[in-house]
Structure 1
């Protein structure tokens, strides 16, 4: 699923190697391998996992619901970050469906010639994904209730 990102003059400004939402478990190794490149000395990976608490409440498990436009939006966000970041390659995977405590929920990575650009691109990608891709978390609380997180 590799796509080059180009500027107005047609020059390649970055590459999106992976941008997918999946129901099956995510592979950190797959994301890492997708961003590796001989021109890149800096690679940064962020892994988000399901934790056992949120906002002072115990969390037993959660479900991610995905809007029908989420996949297209994730691809678009990945292209925007690749174009503005100075990173050579970026990748993002996000889970959907039911997840248990400790499951990997999201993996994003960026590679660049130097670490500063890789760190900045990785941070930009996870922050932009979380704020702009319509994926919502329905937490099942330890006390028996539920709570939606990230709803518009």
Structure 2
């Protein structure tokens, strides 16, 4: 079975909680991503998404130049370890109702990020492959 490390985006771009929302939006545009993990040095402190910027700041009239990432980020983190089976991670994401999850090593250092769509695509491919293998190795019925 494949592990989270096999499908995650490795070494994701991060941002500091003290940076402005404009800086976060620029990084998102440059990297073509919606979420950015928020780190204070090596320590993971949250995650900010393009939706967080819009809903928690812009829609409330806050200035993206003067509003920090800390003011709009989500502090509650959902993560899995990079060596966990994809099926376990997919179930965790389903149970928690999240579309992306951070990947940590066993020292709890950020090593990647994965979207639910990437996980499901990989699991579906594995299922199809397994089904085809089962079908192709099954004995053919005898002709009457």
Interval of TM-score (by shorter of Structure 1 and Structure 2): under 0.3
Higher helix share: 2
TM-score (norm 1): 0.26
Max Rg structure: 2
TM-score, normalization by structure 2: 0.27
